[in-house]
Chains A and B, each alone.
Chain A
Amino acid sequence: MNTDATRETPPNGRTRALGLVFPPAGGRYTGMQLDFVGRVAEAAQAYDYDVLLITGSEIGDRPFQRILTGHRVDGLILMEIRLADTRAAHLIELGFPFVTIGQSGLEKTWWVDLDWVALGRGCVRHLADLGHRRIAFVNRSEELFRAGYESAHRGLEGFDQGVAELGLTGRGHFCGDDDAEGEACLERILLEDPATTAVVTLNEASLGGVYRGLNRAGRVVPRDFSVVGMTAGPWAETVSPPLTAAGEPVDEISQVAVELMLERLDSPGASPRHVMLRPLISIRSSTGPCPSGPDTEF
């Protein structure tokens, strides 16, 4: 144990603290986000590091600046990465060490990420294995998509690839992060193609609404309609029927992010390392064989 960690000004330049840049989407942290924060802190603690939570979303934000100028942390872990993320670009310029959870698309960055493309394809594959031919994708909101949210883009990419590979019919729909949006989204999907028998969803916050919409449309999950989640934490068990979904390995992501961070601090000259996680789809009760109704007999 390094006793220097307790000093105000570390003589070797190490603060033994890491910054976690995690702006709350919509001004509030969700339970899942807080869970993530906790896991990162736990992973860091194992290496005798503290974690400072930074809520600013842009480099110009005051909290961000305080961190950078005050040398209060040794490095940063960035969440909610967007494609061509400006924060990452700025940090590269400053030469400040950081690791992103998610891919920014920028070179020379260290990152850990879920393989969203593979997850999207995997979900489509799972539905196809069950005989579904007409499916839909419930994405994040159009606003986040346009802001370049990486998972929204790559997830859709994987969905589209899967549909194309397997010769299915399917398209993506934007959906806001709440139940009302979810219900409305499902209504749109069934309006557009009433023969749809399954959806892949990336939007966990709207899942309750999707279920409600199915219920209102008289579709029983999983007898008449299957729902598969592209990511899901422990809450997949809390909905009824429990959601078949790729597990979001929060523990592993947090662990890997902290490890990459420390590795980078220890070897500043090393070439960037990337870790891509590909969780499997956990079968629960929201997917079933495609119903062989007249609607689906082509």
Chain B
Amino acid sequence: MTYRGKAVLESPHDHEPVTGLNTATVSRQGIVTSWSDGAQRLLGHPATDVVGRVITELLAADPSDAAWAALAGAEAWSGTVAVRHRDGSRLDLGLRACPSLDSEGNATGFVLAFAPNPAGNGDGDDREMPERSFTQASVALATFDTELRYQGLNDIACEMAGTTAAQLRGRRYRDTVSDNVATRGFVRHLRQVIETGTPTSYDSQFGGRAWNIEMWPVKDPSGRVHGVGTASFDNSAQHWAQQRLALLNEAGTRIGTTLDVLRTAQELTELVVPRLADFVSVDLLDSVLQGEEPTAEPIDAGVVLRRVAHRSAVEGVPEAAVALGAVDTYPPYSPPARCLAVGRSFLSGLEDPDFVRWIEGDDVRNANVHHAGVHSGMAVPLRARGITLGVAVFWRRLRPEPFQPDDLVLAEELAGRAAVCVDNARRYTREYTAALTLQRSLLPRRLPGQAAVEAAFRYLPADTQAGAGGDWFDVIPLSGTRVALVVGDVAGHGVRASATMGSLRTAVRTLADVDLPPDELLTHLDDLVTHLTSDDDGTTASDAQDADGISATCLYAVYDPVSRRCTLASAGHPPPGVLYPDGTVTLVDLSPGPPLGVGGLPFEATELELPEGSLIALYTDGLIEARDHDIDAGLDRLCQALASPSPSLEVTCDTLIDALLTFPTVRPGEPPSRSPSDLRPRGSPSRFPRPTDDVALLVARIRALHTDQVATWGLPADPEIVADARLQASRQLKAWGLEEAGFITELVVSELVTNAIRYGAAPIQLRLIRDRTLICEVSDGNSAAPHLRRARTFDEGGRGLLLVSQLTQGWGTRQTTSGKTIWAEQLLPTGSAGGFR
């Protein structure tokens, strides 16, 4: 604490009454000759008891030899004596003995003055005590006058100032120090004390240490301030301990705010610079960044590390030897490599030969380190779950004092925290990437070749917070040049949603292959979802809970370019938008149906005729609900965007996405510079921001088969007609210039028509379609089709179908509203490409 002691002896100028003096007189022989009131107050003896007695009777112990000698020589003496109080207790009193002289200069006796609290046991002048105390105080003390001139300062203060008290006394403080935050603060507080006349206390940092500075006014008896006394306490240890605690505390909230590896590393650097270090770098094992599961094995020397974050107290990061995102190899003797190898942190500095060898062995690093004046460093491994992920290196250069062991403990703590967050982010990224990869592997990369529609698609995965979703879309070529357009949405996110989506997509493809009409297809799909859910009931409770969550919607549309009719059915899915060639846009008015897995309610098919050139847009709810979760507003926007003219389907897709998914690209407060997007899986669309829910969009322009590409004939159920049908088919092929296909076609027509006449029912129709392939179809009115599934084995089909299956590229049956159709497809002879006009 502050030295505030008052002078021990009362000043002769003191205005207190003279009676207060503790004095006595003794004769040369030691007989007490007079006894003051003060002496009585001090020792309890009244003058009547003492005067006439030998003074030594009052002593509790013999005085020192020096005292005797002085007294014998009639010299002045001061010192401590042990005196007996009247009550018998012992008092140690300061005693000053002055000889009283006669006119000849001989001592006739002594005047004694007692002081109640002696300054010391030794000899010496008690008046110097406060002076010495001031000078030798363990804290830095200084006194200034009101002009801020040094009036006095003690040894420590001189040491701090680097000079002597004599040099400073009388000089203005401002003239003896450099101008900086600390000195300006000191001056400001001095002035404040002079102005207010009240003590103050504040914290300051200079010379690499933390100080608590007390200041108090020095006043004269009238209360006027004549100067300021200051005392500076070095509380660096306490200060840094507090700082470390604060850093640790903040680490809990500032590191790991996102599930992003790079961002987490950045957060560590932002926290520690400049409070702990002047420069920090975070390097991660390249394998960790590649999403590989790191091993717990020791890391080899010379390991390859990728710089993921660094930060300097100085703009431009002059200390960095490696650019962000670049790879560096630390030599085995370097502190970072050693720390990785043993999994333990290192404190190092210029006194460490390995540190010097490392920075001198690397030209860039050497130049940087010398230039930057780095003198102390710490290398701390980033370890989580017993696995080393990378290393954080802390350097000091601006701050003169080297890192302390306490700093290393703090750095370890912070790095450990960051490592856990990095590991979480890494594992999350891995799962997200896995889900996304799964999702992408389950979605079509490009649309299958077919000529019924021209289609374009977009799939935008949800942002990383939500995880990959369960949206899907499909374009499935069907027999007879028809095509199925599918879009669906499995509720939820993550691998499970993606996997369920995969099951449903496969199921839809399989059911489409059987050529089920849309409403029936959804009924089967609904059964499948119900089964998926009930299958899971047998497993653990948590799984069953998940299974309850299977909820999916689907829209299935089949377009026939011959009839130009589109048949749609929906399982709780939003209706598609249609842009007609005349520019009008409508949402298809269809019965929405229940979502899949609900069961009970029927799915209804809606049929509409689409003029050639119409555009139909299928999408998932992520598109229309993205902006404000207002479905109606989303649908309005969709219609408007669909109506805007567009040179191509790709542009239409972009327009729709732009119109419906417009987000600010940078969140407020987040620097737009290096976003963590670098870690996003490759191939993700960079042009558009991530929606909160995933979005699938499928846009198809309707084409129509020209009438001269299709020939349909009605056939009476009369065996004689078979020959005519064969001839007619052959005639038609001639008109198409496909005589080469005549032989097989005639054979197929014969077999299929014969079968239809023999086993089927009226009306029987023969249809030839010349598109990308040559398709021969025979329909009849008997809905009891021989095979619901496409037959790939021949035993069931009899000889006719055996022939057909061997001669054609593929064949199958499909149900129609009035019966069934058996179709067979042949490749066109080369050089006679068909197609739409």
- Chain A interface residues toward B at CB < 8 A: 121-122, 125-126, 128-130, 237, 242, 244, 247, 249, 251-252, 278-284, 287, 289
Which of A126, A237, A251 makes the CB contact (< 8 A) with B763? A126
Q: A125-B716, A280-B713, A283-B712 are known contacts; what are 18 more A-B pairs with Cβ within 8 Å?
A: A121-B716, A126-B714, A126-B716, A126-B763, A128-B762, A129-B716, A129-B717, A237-B707, A237-B708, A252-B731, A278-B724, A280-B724, A280-B728, A280-B766, A283-B713, A283-B714, A283-B765, A284-B707
Contacts of B708 in A (CB 8 A): 237
Contacts of A126 in B (CB 8 A): 714, 716, 763
Contacts of A121 in B (CB 8 A): 716
CA distance A128 to B762 in the complex (A): 9
Contacts of A284 in B (CB 8 A): 707, 712
Judged by a CB distance under 8 angstroms, whether B715 is at the interface is: yes
| Cβ B731 vs Cβ A129 within 8 A | no
Which of B714, B762, B781 makes the CB contact (< 8 A) with A280? B714
Chain A's nearest CB lies how many Å from the CB of B721? 8
CA distance A283 to B763 in the complex (A): 11
CB closest chain-B residue, reference A244: B714
| Cβ A282 vs Cβ B731 within 8 A | no
Contacts of A249 in B (CB 8 A): 731
Chain B's nearest CB lies how many Å from the CB of A285? 9
Judged by a CB distance under 8 angstroms, whether B579 is at the interface is: no
Chain A's nearest CB lies how many Å from the CB of B726? 10
Most interface-central of B707, B711, B713 (chain A CB within 10 A): B713
| Cβ A281 vs Cβ B764 within 8 A | no
CB closest chain-B residue, reference A128: B762
| Cβ A282 vs Cβ B711 within 8 A | yes
Contacts of B724 in A (CB 8 A): 278-280
CB closest chain-A residue, reference B713: A280
Contacts of B718 in A (CB 8 A): 125
Most interface-central of B716, B762, B764 (chain A CB within 10 A): B716
CB 8 Å contact bits of B133-159 with A (1 = contact, 0 = none): 000000000000000000000000000
CA distance A1 to B130 in the complex (A): 147
CA distance A72 to B766 in the complex (A): 46
Judged by a CB distance under 8 angstroms, whether B725 is at the interface is: yes
CA distance A267 to B677 in the complex (A): 88
| Cβ A122 vs Cβ B716 within 8 A | yes
Contacts of B727 in A (CB 8 A): 278
Judged by a CB distance under 8 angstroms, whether B287 is at the interface is: no
Contacts of B765 in A (CB 8 A): 283
Most interface-central of B714, B721, B725 (chain A CB within 10 A): B714
Most interface-central of A121, A126, A244, A279 (chain B CB within 10 A): A126
CB closest chain-A residue, reference B711: A282
Chain B's nearest CB lies how many Å from the CB of A74? 28
CA distance A280 to B726 in the complex (A): 10
Chain A's nearest CB lies how many Å from the CB of B164? 117
Chain B's nearest CB lies how many Å from the CB of A94? 35
CB closest chain-A residue, reference B723: A278
CA distance A224 to B48 in the complex (A): 153
CA distance A289 to B716 in the complex (A): 15
Judged by a CB distance under 8 angstroms, whether B662 is at the interface is: no
List CB contacts (< 8 Å) of B769-788 with chain A. 781
CB closest chain-A residue, reference B765: A283
CB closest chain-A residue, reference B728: A280
Contacts of A125 in B (CB 8 A): 716, 718
Closest 10 CB pairs of A and B: A129-B763, A280-B713, A283-B712, A129-B762, A125-B716, A126-B714, A280-B728, A281-B714, A278-B724, A283-B714
16 contacts between A and B (CB under 8 A): A126-B714, A126-B763, A129-B714, A129-B764, A130-B763, A237-B707, A242-B707, A244-B714, A251-B735, A278-B724, A280-B714, A280-B766, A282-B711, A283-B712, A283-B713, A283-B714
Chain B's nearest CB lies how many Å from the CB of A39? 13
Judged by a CB distance under 8 angstroms, whether B818 is at the interface is: yes
CA distance A289 to B711 in the complex (A): 19
Which of B713, B717, B735, B762 makes the CB contact (< 8 A) with A281? B713
Contacts of A289 in B (CB 8 A): 818
Chain A's nearest CB lies how many Å from the CB of B287? 67
CA distance A126 to B765 in the complex (A): 10
Contacts of A128 in B (CB 8 A): 762
CA distance A252 to B727 in the complex (A): 11
Chain B's nearest CB lies how many Å from the CB of A282? 6
Contacts of B767 in A (CB 8 A): 283
Chain B's nearest CB lies how many Å from the CB of A105? 24
CA distance A125 to B765 in the complex (A): 12
CB 8 Å contact bits of B741-768 with A (1 = contact, 0 = none): 0000000000000000000001111110
CA distance A63 to B711 in the complex (A): 42
Chain A's nearest CB lies how many Å from the CB of B707? 5
CB closest chain-B residue, reference A228: B714
CB closest chain-B residue, reference A278: B724
Chain A's nearest CB lies how many Å from the CB of B302? 79
CA distance A121 to B718 in the complex (A): 12
Chain B's nearest CB lies how many Å from the CB of A291? 14
CA distance A242 to B711 in the complex (A): 12
| Cβ B818 vs Cβ A280 within 8 A | no
CA distance A257 to B802 in the complex (A): 40
Given A237-B707, A249-B731, A289-B818: A282 touches B712 (CB 8 Å cut-off): yes
Contacts of A237 in B (CB 8 A): 707-708
CB 8 Å contact bits of B686-729 with A (1 = contact, 0 = none): 00000000000000000000011001111111100100110110
CA distance A287 to B724 in the complex (A): 21
Chain A's nearest CB lies how many Å from the CB of B549? 46
CB closest chain-B residue, reference A284: B712
CB closest chain-A residue, reference B735: A251
CB closest chain-A residue, reference B766: A280
Chain A's nearest CB lies how many Å from the CB of B780? 10
Contacts of A282 in B (CB 8 A): 711-713
Chain A's nearest CB lies how many Å from the CB of B58? 144
CB 8 Å contact bits of B677-690 with A (1 = contact, 0 = none): 00000000000000
Most interface-central of A242, A278, A283 (chain B CB within 10 A): A283
Contacts of B716 in A (CB 8 A): 121-122, 125-126, 129
CB closest chain-A residue, reference B727: A278
| Cβ B725 vs Cβ A280 within 8 A | yes
CA distance A249 to B713 in the complex (A): 14
Chain A's nearest CB lies how many Å from the CB of B563? 9
| Cβ B764 vs Cβ A279 within 8 A | no
CA distance A284 to B707 in the complex (A): 9
Chain B's nearest CB lies how many Å from the CB of A247? 8
CB 8 Å contact bits of B594-608 with A (1 = contact, 0 = none): 000000000000000
List CB contacts (< 8 Å) of B58-92 with chain A. none
Contacts of B715 in A (CB 8 A): 280
CA distance A25 to B118 in the complex (A): 157
CA distance A126 to B715 in the complex (A): 7
CA distance A122 to B731 in the complex (A): 19
CB 8 Å contact bits of B356-386 with A (1 = contact, 0 = none): 0000000000000000000000000000000
CB closest chain-B residue, reference A287: B714
CA distance A176 to B707 in the complex (A): 30
CA distance A249 to B718 in the complex (A): 22
Contacts of B713 in A (CB 8 A): 280-283
CA distance A63 to B764 in the complex (A): 49
Chain A's nearest CB lies how many Å from the CB of B64? 141
Contacts of A122 in B (CB 8 A): 714, 716
Chain B's nearest CB lies how many Å from the CB of A128? 8
CA distance A252 to B712 in the complex (A): 19
Chain A's nearest CB lies how many Å from the CB of B444? 34
CB closest chain-B residue, reference A236: B707
Contacts of A287 in B (CB 8 A): 714
CA distance A125 to B781 in the complex (A): 14
CA distance A231 to B459 in the complex (A): 53
CB closest chain-A residue, reference B708: A237
CB closest chain-A residue, reference B818: A289
| Cβ A279 vs Cβ B763 within 8 A | no
CA distance A278 to B720 in the complex (A): 11
| Cβ A279 vs Cβ B728 within 8 A | yes
